[in-house]
């Protein structure tokens, strides 16, 4: 028989504490051990001890908040998975909780035992995958971003978590233009600096909580949740602005250019990550072709252009 799950329940209201205990008993059929922390200070000490399988944090803790507690305990690096509980539905608090490192956000009064068990199960699986990624060093050594395996592992798991919320997401496929020309004309050290620059631009363009990875070569992919339809154009415009800023300040002998394609979709059971990456890749290729067409048109007007892929500044 499975060992009982160890739950740290951070709740300053005794009635809510009893209600949540009942939900946990329903969800786990009694196979649960609950430790109650009713104050901010006690909860912080217990979170740092990391003796539990999961922590449930109430958002309102007297004059403090569960988000403050999570941040003080280490945020996304907190040693145990966190599920945030609140008495009201608030999209802003939801986003703040997720960005602070919470694996899920549940509204009291809408939670059933089964839903709470499922949320905890996903939170623990997410933590397991994060630990696996760290242990397997699934990091691209050159850029410091996640690599292909890290991206597909984490993206699949995140989309499963988002299915219930039917969140609008954005997937961006980006390709560094002219990398081969820089390698051929300026050397592979310059090509490496170009890729590192691209990674820095992508980090500055997207949020800290978005998944950004280098798939290999000159290809990058990004998954962002809680998006809007307007974000498709806005994020591509912001990317161009950050590329221009990098080119103006990097002091390199080449200019960085990135072609990108974006797909907006709503996470659900029918979501197919590989298909979305393929569609974003196709849109990126159309963007790259458009750039080439514009450049060819410019070449007609300027018969002796300096190649922009590897041009000295």
pLDDT along the chain (313 residues), means of 10: 87 93 92 94 91 93 89 81 85 82 89 93 87 75 92 88 82 95 94 96 92 96 87 88 96 95 88 94 92 62 44 37
> Three-class SS of residue 269?
coil
189 and 244 belong to one structural domain: yes
Contacts 24+ apart (CB under 8 A), 156-161: 156/273, 157/122, 157/125, 157/126, 157/129, 158/126, 158/211, 158/223, 158/225, 159/223, 159/267, 159/271, 159/273, 160/122, 161/103, 161/104, 161/122, 161/126
Q: What are phi and psi of 302, to 5 degrees?
A: -120, 95
pLDDT for 309: 46
Based on the domain organization, do 151 and 57 belong to the same domain?
no
Residue 66 tokens read as 């569960």
Which of 174, 188, 211, 177 minimizes the C-alpha distance to 292? 177
Predicted local confidence at residue 135, as pLDDT: 64
Same domain, 148 and 130: no
Count of structural domains, the chain: 2
Give the end of a domain, one of 120, 135, 150: 135
Q: Phi, psi at residue 221, to the nearest 5°? A: -140, 145
Nearest to 192 by CA among 201, 183, 202, 204: 183
Neighbours of 64 (CB within 10 A): 17
Same domain for 121 and 160?
no
DSSP states along 210-222:
SEEEEEETTEEEE
Task: For residue 30, report the phi and psi dihedrals to the nearest 5 degrees.
Answer: 85, -10
Domain end position, chosen among 103, 135, 167? 135
- 209 and 252 share a domain? yes
Same domain, 59 and 178: no
Same domain, 176 and 278: yes
Question: Is 270 in a helix, a strand, or coil?
Answer: coil
Which of 110, 135, 160 terminates a domain? The answer is 135
Q: What is the pLDDT of residue 237?
A: 92
**DSSP H helical ranges for the chain:** 14-28, 40-49, 66-72, 91-100, 113-136, 148-162, 179-186, 188-205, 231-249, 273-301
DSSP 8-state symbol, 256 = -
Question: What is the C-alpha to C-alpha distance for residues 59 and 64, in angstroms, rounded to an integer?
Answer: 8
For residues 18 and 9, the answer to whether their CB atoms sit within 8 Å is no
What are the backbone angles phi and psi of residue 141, rounded to the nearest 5°? -65, -35
- Asked if residue 146 and residue 116 are part of one domain, the reply reads no
Instruction: Centre a 10 Å sphere on the Cβ of residue 306 and count the other Cβ atoms it contains.
Output: 9
Say which CATH number the domain at 282 has: 3.30.70.270
127 & 172 share domain: no
Angle between helices 231-249 and 188-205 (to 10 degrees): 140
d(CA 224, CA 209): 8
Euclidean distance between CA atoms 143 and 199, whole angstroms = 6
Same domain, 148 and 267: yes
User: CB under 8 Å to 181, separation ≥6 — which residues?
Assistant: 307, 309, 310
* One domain for residues 106 and 209: no
Shared-domain flag, residues 56 and 31: yes
Q: Residue 50's domain spans which residues? A: 5-135
CATH number for position 25:
3.40.50.2300
């Amino acid at each position: 028989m499975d060992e009982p799950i160890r739950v740290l329940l951070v709740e300053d209201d005794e009635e809510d504490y009893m209600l949540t205990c009942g939900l946990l008993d329903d969800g786990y059929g009694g196979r649960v051990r609950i430790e109650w922390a009713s104050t901010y200070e006690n909860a912080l000490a217990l979170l740092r001890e990391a003796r539990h399988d999961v922590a449930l944090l109430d958002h309102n803790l007297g004059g403090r908040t569960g988000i403050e507690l999570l941040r003080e305990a280490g945020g996304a690096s907190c040693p145990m998975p966190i599920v945030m509980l609140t008495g009201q539905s608030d999209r802003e608090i939801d986003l703040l909780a997720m960005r602070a490192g919470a694996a899920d956000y549940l509204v009291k009064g809408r939670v059933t035992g089964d839903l709470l068990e499922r949320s905890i199960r996903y939170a623990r699986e997410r933590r397991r995958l994060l630990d696996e990624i760290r242990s397997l060093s699934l990091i691209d050594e050159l850029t410091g971003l996640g690599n292909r395996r890290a991206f597909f592992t984490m993206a699949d798991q995140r989309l499963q978590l988002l299915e219930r919320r039917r969140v609008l997401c954005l997937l961006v496929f980006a390709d560094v233009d002219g990398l081969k020309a820089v390698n051929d004309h300026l050397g592979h050290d310059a090509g490496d600096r170009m890729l590192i620059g691209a990674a820095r631009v992508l980090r500055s363009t997207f949020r800290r909580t978005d998944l950004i990875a280098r798939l290999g070569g000159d290809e990058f992919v990004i998954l962002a949740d809680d998006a809007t339809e307007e974000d498709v154009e806005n994020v591509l415009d912001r990317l161009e602005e950050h590329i221009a800023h990098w080119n103006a300040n990097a002091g390199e002998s080449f200019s960085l250019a990135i072609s990108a394609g974006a797909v907006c979709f709503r996470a659900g059971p029918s979501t197919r990550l590989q298909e979305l990456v393929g569609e974003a890749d196709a849109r990126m290729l159309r963007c790259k072709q458009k750039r080439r067409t514009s450049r060819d048109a410019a070449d007609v007007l300027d018969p002796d252009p300096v190649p922009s892929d590897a041009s000295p500044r």
